[in-house]
Homo-oligomer: A and B are copies of this chain.
Amino acid sequence: MASVPNQISAIQAAREIAAGRLTSEALVRACLGRIAERDPTVLAWAFLNPDLALEQARACDRGPKRGVLHGVPVGVKDVIDTVDMPTAYNSPIYAGHRPRADAACVAAVRRAGAVILGKTETTEFANNHPARTRNPHNLSHTPGGSSSGSAAAVADYMVPFAFGTQTGGSTIRPAAFCGIVGYKPTFNTINRGGMKFVAESLDTIGTHARSVEDAALLACAASGRPMPEFSRFKGKPKVGVYRTPHWDKTDERTRMLLADVVDKLRAAGWTVVDADLPPQAVAIYDANSTIMQFEEAYSLGYEFDVHRAQLSEDLTARIERGRATSRDLYERAIDVVLEVGAMFVDAFRSVDVLLTPSAPGEAPFGLTTTGNALFNRNWTTLGLPCVTIPVGQGPKGLPLGVQFVGPYRGDSTVLLAADAAWKAISR
């Protein structure tokens, strides 16, 4: 048994608990200890009741094994409903709100034996207005958003994994900024019942963890997708480097990192080619904004109409832009998604995965912005699976990530590729 249980992986924890070498209570106590020590400055948790967490842990220790997550704690982004904990979307409108049911993904992981440790901070309604959370690597920097608390808590060893969500770049970007793994599955992988919608055509529940295997484990337990066979995978997937139409927005370190990763993969015997897409693919970025704003103007219609004074100015302006967007423009944006989607189907005929930046650079200084989703919005809109792995450092010593993107439903491919690449790079 590891001497510091809150640092071990979820998979190892599940194994230790199943073997009787670790109790869920000891693991949860270790996580709570770390939180008590660190969260007064990191501020990753929106709600945490140690007694409630320990009660779940002891029930696991007493009871029969429920499933693959038996006894393992998980963090839940506070836009996802929990019946025993408040869910407030980081909005004063919902202060103290207690949902009547668990969200589908929460119920699924409880069924698999997980302990719901607490609710992690989110930006306001998973939009841009920042959470109070700080980057555990440097408290003066943003952890990214909107899944700020999930990324920071996992990065800071407070919990082995956590649910996030992504409508623009809300899972991958904070993972990259906090130096952990982020996994945004193919659209329609994890059921969204009981999550607060931003934009129903885009919203995707994803996972944060400190290993690709753990990120996969949580998503698979929540969705019924079979777990990829990481330990048996010996492949060297063919990689296409995709610099995106926004390459000029990346900083120098990010460009150097990508070149370095390519060199190391080639040195390890991987085939890496340039993947260049037709310039029309650039239309996907505006399509994302149009779809998000149009749909959000409806999904937050009540909050805007009745509680406008309690919304941030940023969100108010966004909803106003959504209301000023015609349905015709919205539907043309959806058409663009289909057209650009077809281009990427073609792209994946010649490569297994794409390699691309996770973000323009390291986490920006300050807590007034959560950074730029420019390297994520396109993939969310296309519904393609993405995995970011932490493999470098920016000029201020903050983590950098690179992102692997797979074809539609190619979740196993991209998870295995990211895991194998990380090992090849780290060798």
Contact = CB atoms under 8 A, between A and B. Distances in A.
A140 interface: no
A427 interface: no
Contact of A226 (B97, B302, B327): B327
A326 interface: yes
Contact of A111 (B191, B200, B305, B326): B305
A192 interface: yes
A163 interface: no
Interface in A40-89: 83
Contacts of A103: 302
A197 B197 CA distance: 12
26 contacts: A83-B302, A104-B197, A104-B298, A104-B299, A104-B301, A104-B302, A105-B298, A107-B298, A107-B302, A108-B298, A110-B305, A188-B200, A191-B197, A191-B295, A191-B298, A191-B301, A192-B197, A193-B197, A193-B299, A193-B300, A193-B301, A223-B327, A224-B294, A224-B326, A226-B327, A331-B409
Q: Which of A103, A224, A226, A294 has the most CB of B within 10 A?
A: A224
A320 interface: no
Interface in A407-423: 409
Contacts of A233: none
Interface of A: 83, 94, 97, 100-108, 110-111, 188, 191-194, 196-197, 200-201, 223-226, 294-295, 298-303, 305-306, 326-328, 330-331, 334, 409
* Total copies of this chain within the assembly: 2
A108 B330 CA distance: 17
Contacts of A331: 409
Contacts of A330: 224
Contact of A303 (B101, B295, B327): B101
Q: Which of A101, A197, A225 has the most CB of B within 10 A?
A: A101
A102 B302 contact: yes
Nearest to A295: B191
Nearest to A94: B100
Q: Which of A110, A188, A193, A334 has the most CB of B within 10 A?
A: A193
A334 B383 CA distance: 15
Given A101-B303, A200-B191, A299-B193, A225 B107 contact: no
Nearest to A108: B301
A334 B197 CA distance: 23
Contact of A301 (B100, B111, B192): B111
Contacts of A97: 100
Given A193-B197, A200-B192, A301 B102 contact: yes
Given A224-B327, A226-B327, A327-B224, A302 B101 contact: yes
Given A107-B305, A224-B326, A331-B409, A299 B191 contact: yes
A193 B201 CA distance: 11
Contacts of A191: 197, 200, 295, 298-299, 301
A91 to B, nearest CB: 11
Nearest to A188: B201
A146 B209 CA distance: 41
Contacts of A224: 294, 326-327, 330
Contacts of A303: 101
Contacts of A196: 193
A421 to B, nearest CB: 26
A198 to B, nearest CB: 9
Contacts of A106: 302
Q: Which of A97, A298, A303 has the most CB of B within 10 A?
A: A298
A291 to B, nearest CB: 10
Given A107-B302, A224-B327, 11 more contacts: A83-B306, A102-B306, A104-B299, A105-B298, A106-B302, A107-B301, A191-B298, A192-B200, A193-B196, A193-B197, A224-B294
Nearest to A81: B302
